[in-house]
Structure 1
Amino acid sequence: MRPIIKALTVSALALSTSMALAADKVELPKTLAMTAYGTGSAGYTQMVSIGNLLQNEYGTSVRILPGENDVSRMTPLRVGRVPLCACGIASYYGFEGVLMFAGRQWGPQPIRVIATSTASFGLGVAVADDIDVKTPADLKGKRIAYIRGDDALNKGTEAFLAFGGLTWDDVKKVTYPGYGRSFDGIIANQVDASFTMSVAPPAQQLAASPRGIVWPTLDPKDTEGWKRLKTVAPYFDPHQVTSAAGGYSKDKPWVGASYPYPILIGTDKLDDKTAYSLVKVLIEDFDKYKDAAPGNAGYARDKQNMEWVIPFHDSVVQYYKDTGYWTDAMQAHQDMLVKRQDTLASAWKGYMASDPPSDDAAFKKGWMSARAEALEAQGMDPVFK
């Protein structure tokens, strides 16, 4: 029996050593805090499911702080209260230092991506199905919702109009104080379309109403249309949407658009080991959490857009290099985004040192001008002017 016992002991030791080495590669703090959307949101639910994985597999407790709006989600990240945010597209606006982040307290933020989720849903202009709209060009002359104080939604609507060769001047703008109210307006036949996520409750309510719902087609082969759309909002990509209100499915997809949600971000100061370990867990433990919450399937490695609009954290890049997934084209794109980030940071520093106006509106106008000038000097498109 002794040789067998010895063999078992050696085998157990080897297994223990192997597990220890594997564990060494995942180095996470005992507690990890982040901000996210509200408790009923898909982003919050996803972070809870990933938090359960980190707790059960690696002993890391995840504390999630729900934020009601983009600024409340991004502020704790900016001041260092949390190292992570499961944010929306406002993370891109923060990176660029525009819209709600063009004010004196903000400016361009050194945001870096850990991972994103691009799942079966889409984002776009939901249209009442009784006005014969098939493509964005058909929205000409229609009543389109404009949401007061919501830059992200209005920018999305503007991008869809641009796909059809239209601007706000080509439609009847109807202003609403909130996103939900705009869909009440569609159902009441006071407006015809509003921007939303394809699976959002307001879209479902419109689909169940007498007016019904349709999602205008964005033909991926329409290169000019997509060029116009991306000029307004470069974070959109063509997407076969298989989850959308109105009976859209795998058998009847909406040929539309999407961008990642949520976008798990930190800053360039995020601990290297934490960033490396997080992306490693999200990619390599995918099967352990992919079905734990709606949208989790979007974290798969093949769903990551490696040449998007925000740079990855350096340690995330290192992980993809270590696993043989990183390419020269990805590196060139990463370098361009980091250069853009450096250009924005330098422009902000110079603008703040120039005794800018104290009036908020004048301050933002001056910053946007300085920002555009700095980017154009580097041969980069300001996008926002």
Structure 2
Amino acid sequence: MKKIAKALASILAGALLLSGCAKLDLGEEVNAFPDFTAWTTYGTGTATYADLAAAANTISNDTGAQIRILTSDTAVGRLSPLRNKQAVMSRTGDEYMYSFNGDEDFSHPDWGPQDVRVAWTPTAPHALMTRANTEITTPMDLKGKRVPRITANPSVNNKISAYLAYAGLTWDDVRPVNVAYSEQPAALQNGKIDVLYQQVYGSSLFELESAVQVQWLELDPDATDRVEALQRVSPAVEVGPFEGAPGQADGESDNGFVYPLPIVTYAETSDSIAYYTAKAFQDEYPQFADATATTKNWDLEHIVTMPVQVPFHPGTVKFLEENGKWSQEAQERNEALIAYGERMRAAWPEFLEQADTDGDLKEQWREWKKDHVQPLP
């Protein structure tokens, strides 16, 4: 925890300065990690932020580079600085997929499908937490309970929907409570919600544990039908174990959702910036691998190296190729995803011309793509 605190303190000052910085040159060609860069991610109390801050702190100390981190609880808030060239990289939730496809919050005239690329792909465990000594021990116990609906965060809401699907429930079976992502621990402590959903090692959850007894909802990875139901809602999710989190005794483990929380950028970012960013994560990994409970998942042996729903950046592909981590299958999938993104972005203006902009653009775009955009092979 001391290492985490050191990283947070070092990076936070840069986060506070970001709002006034000039636009960055995403196309800059570099021959080493950039002297100055800016990244975005979730709020400072989250494990997602702690991971990124630990990596940034190590890279900064070793290279002398300035890395500024801007935080936001919302999907659009994390990607807007990239689109506005105030930041280069973002560690995201599922908004990297939603933005690429123009779905959810990005089904909006100001957004639409975005030309984003994956730069690095560490994974992390997430789960539903509740207060101890309640009647809520499994997702099946959520019926009629107060469940958070996270403001402007379709990624987290999708994962909660997947938990409900595991239990054979929907949002109609629970009492949704609108709350910001970072407000969940206080809301659980104060009794406004009955469960919360976060990456399991967030510092705010350890603080919550010091105030109230907490526990994790049980998931059974061998409950095949239930796991298949949740993966129909959130295909990228695997059910897997975690330990050392708040509410767990030494050696105790629970099962949660494990999936990538990637570092993403726009396609216009130069190949050299993406390459040296990937290289820095790998080169500096031994120095920050033990900084948090999940930074051990940040090296070439643990990251995801197969494109699934968003293509990898050419700079990252070059680095993976040099290290024997890029296959012909990955290349073919990447090319198919790039072509699919081009088709969606070309179709978006035509869609807007005929769309009812006062109606539900998310559903209209989803249906329109079925008939007008050639799907992925």
Correspondence list, 1:22-61, <5 A: 27-61=32-66
Q: Which consecutive residues of structure 1, in runs of 5 or more, have no partner in the other structure?
A: 1-24, 381-385
- Give a deviation string over 1:101-158, Cα, whole Å, max 9, x none: 1111111111111113324xx2122234434444323434444333454433322211
Find 1:157's aligned residue among 148, 151, 160: 160
- Residue by residue over 1:283-330, the C-alpha shift from the partner in whole angstroms, topping out at 9 and shown as x without a partner, is 233213323456432212222122343321122122212221222343
Structure 1 window deviating more from structure 2 (301-310 vs 330-339): it is 330-339
Q: Identify the residue that residue 244 of structure 1 maps to in structure 2.
A: 245
User: 1:366: which partner in 2?
Assistant: 364
SS in 1 for 2:56: helix
| 1:5 equivalent in structure 2 | none
| Cα offset, 1:345, TM superposition | 2.0
1:11 maps to what in 2?
Answer: none
Counterpart code for 2:199:
M
Q: Rate the CA distance shift 1:148–1:115 in 2: closer, same or farther, 3 A.
A: closer
2:159 is aligned with what amino acid?
A: G
Note if contact 2:44-2:71 (Cα within 8 Å) is conserved in structure 1.
yes
8 Å Cα contact 1:147/1:176 also seen in 2: yes
Secondary structure in 2 matching 1:259: strand
- 1:350 is displaced (CA, Å) by 2.8
Change (3 A) 1:254 1:293: closer
* Distance 1:84-1:356 versus aligned 2 partners, 3 A rule: same
Change (3 A) 1:45 1:200: closer
1:336-347 equivalences in 2 (<5 Å): 336-347=336-347
Q: Residue 32 of structure 2 aligns to a residue in which SS? A: coil
8 Å CA contact 1:240, 1:253 repeated in 2? yes
Letter in 2 for 1:305: V
CA distance in 2, matches of 1:285, 1:180: 29
- Code of the residue aligned with 2:133 in structure 1: it is D
Q: CA RMSD in A?
A: 3.2
DSSP 3-state at the match of 2:260: coil
Q: Deviations over 1:248-287 (max 9, x none)?
A: 55x21112212334x3111111111111122122123321
Question: Whole-Å Cα distance in 1 between the matches of residues 290 and 242 of structure 2?
Answer: 19
**1:259 aligned onto 2:259:** yes
Matching residue of 1:124? 127
SS in structure 1 at match of 2:301: helix
**TM-score scaled by structure 2?**
0.79
Q: Which residue of 2 aligns with 1:196?
A: 198
**In the alignment, structure 1 residue 92 sits paired with structure 2 residue 125:** no
2:375 matched residue in structure 1 = 378
Identity between Structure 1 and Structure 2 (%) = 25
Task: Say which one has the larger Rg.
Answer: 1
Distance 2:165 2:241 in 1: 20
User: In 2, Cα distance between the equivalents of 1:56 and 1:177?
Assistant: 37
